[in-house]
Structure 1
Amino acid sequence: MTQNPSPHDPVGWHGTTILCVRGKGGVAMAGDGQVSLGQTVIKANARKVRRIGPSGGVLAGFAGATADAFTLLERLEAKLERFPGQLERACVELAKDWRTDRYLRRLEAMMAVADAERSFTLTGNGDVLEPSDGVIGIGSGGNYALAAARALIDIPGLSAEDVARRAMAIAAEICVYTNHNVIIETIGEAG
């Protein structure tokens, strides 16, 4: 994954697309597999979406510097162990640490997390944002996937996974830092 000229602006990260869609009875999180270094594709099948937490009941996706994202995933898992079944509290505690800890403050990544009930975007600015419509898009293709998912979400018969899969395909057609090699994790309803 590569970054834009301003390394302290995680919203502008290039090199990934993460989409979280909350539908009727379920949630799906999708991530493309492309890892870029500048204008070169280094890897096409990276796994940027994972199940975390003591029971694997939390989905997490990341955009940004890979090592930084893994550090944040580990920290979030530790918070989930400390506050089991309390995703919001774990996210808030991580965001506080991320913003105030000298080491963590330098981490350049962004995360989308979800459990069966709620979804959040976490940033290094201390933000823990819950979308009003249940759809999150982060990374360079995040806005494309977000727009596509919002257009598809109310189509009858489409599950959260269906919406995520179709929206990611649209983002991959538009964003050069996003590929069609998509990994999707779900909780609840499946396609």
Structure 2
Amino acid sequence: MTDPHSSHGLVQWHGTTIIGVKKGGKTVIAGDGQVSMGNTVMKPNARKVRRIGDGSVIGGFAGATADAFTLFERLEKKLEAARGQLMRAAVELAKDWRTDKYLRNLEALMIVADKDTMLILTGNGDVLEPEHGIAAIGSGGNYALSAAKALDAYEEDAETIARHAMQVAAEVCVFTNDRVTVETI
């Protein structure tokens, strides 16, 4: 989101960078800790990347924090119902997110992954599997994505790629800081 105001005219909490890198049998999701409201940093150490359910799925979010927590809770329930099958749970969540009157108003994006799959989930009903195992979302997402793609040919370690990409995003995007949380599967 580049506009700090919602369609309701209220100031939005905004900006973050989340990156997912899948390489060498390892999947990493990393995110910064900055929460901004307008041009003010409200919190520098938010935890936007976490383990979900029994710990076999990791996820990161960009967007409204309360909305993202609601979506994480819903995804956990879908994972239980799908017996841990991430793709199936993600598709079911995306259906609900797009069609449910309450969920449709949630403003967040998510990257989720298990040992086999990494996905980007959106409120438009998208369940996207990124090409070449690299995905990024949020205000600094394009910077992190570009950096990770450039590093991919030269670096074998997924966590190293993610950390360097986050460093680049933090140096360029004013809504991203260098307090990075990393989860690995």
- Identify the TM-score tier after normalising by the shorter chain: over 0.9
8 A Cα contact 2:14 2:38, kept in partner: no
Cross-structure match for 2:183: 185
8 A Cα contact 1:63 1:109, kept in partner: yes
Which amino acid is 2:89 matched to? Answer: A
Cross-structure match for 2:165: 167
Q: Distance in 1 between matches of 2:44 and 2:94?
A: 30
What is the TM-score normalised by the length of structure 1? 0.90
Cross-structure match for 1:137: 136
What is the TM-score normalised by the length of structure 2? 0.93
Note the C-alpha offset of 1:153.
Answer: 1.2
8 A Cα contact 2:4 2:14, kept in partner: no
8 A Cα contact 1:60 1:113, kept in partner: yes
Cross-structure match for 1:38: 38
Q: Which runs of 5+ in 1 are unaligned?
A: none
The 1:3/1:162 distance shift into structure 2, 3 A limit, reads: same
Count of paired positions: 180
Cross-structure match for 2:79: 80
Note the C-alpha offset of 1:85.
Answer: 2.7
Superposition map of 1:60-71 within 5 A: 60-71=59-70
The SS at the match of 1:165 is: helix
Note the C-alpha offset of 1:154.
Answer: 2.0
Cross-structure match for 2:93: 94
Q: Distance in 2 between matches of 1:35 and 1:6?
A: 15
Q: Distance in 1 between matches of 2:2 and 2:100?
A: 22
Note the C-alpha offset of 1:5.
Answer: 5.5
Q: Distance in 1 between matches of 2:5 and 2:121?
A: 19
Superposition map of 1:4-15 within 5 A: 4=3, 7=6, 14-15=14-15
The SS at the match of 2:68 is: helix
RMSD of equivalent CA atoms: 1.6
The 1:3/1:70 distance shift into structure 2, 3 A limit, reads: farther
Q: Distance in 2 between matches of 1:84 and 1:48?
A: 25
The 1:118/1:175 distance shift into structure 2, 3 A limit, reads: same
Note the C-alpha offset of 1:142.
Answer: 0.5
Q: Which runs of 5+ in 2 are unaligned?
A: 8-12
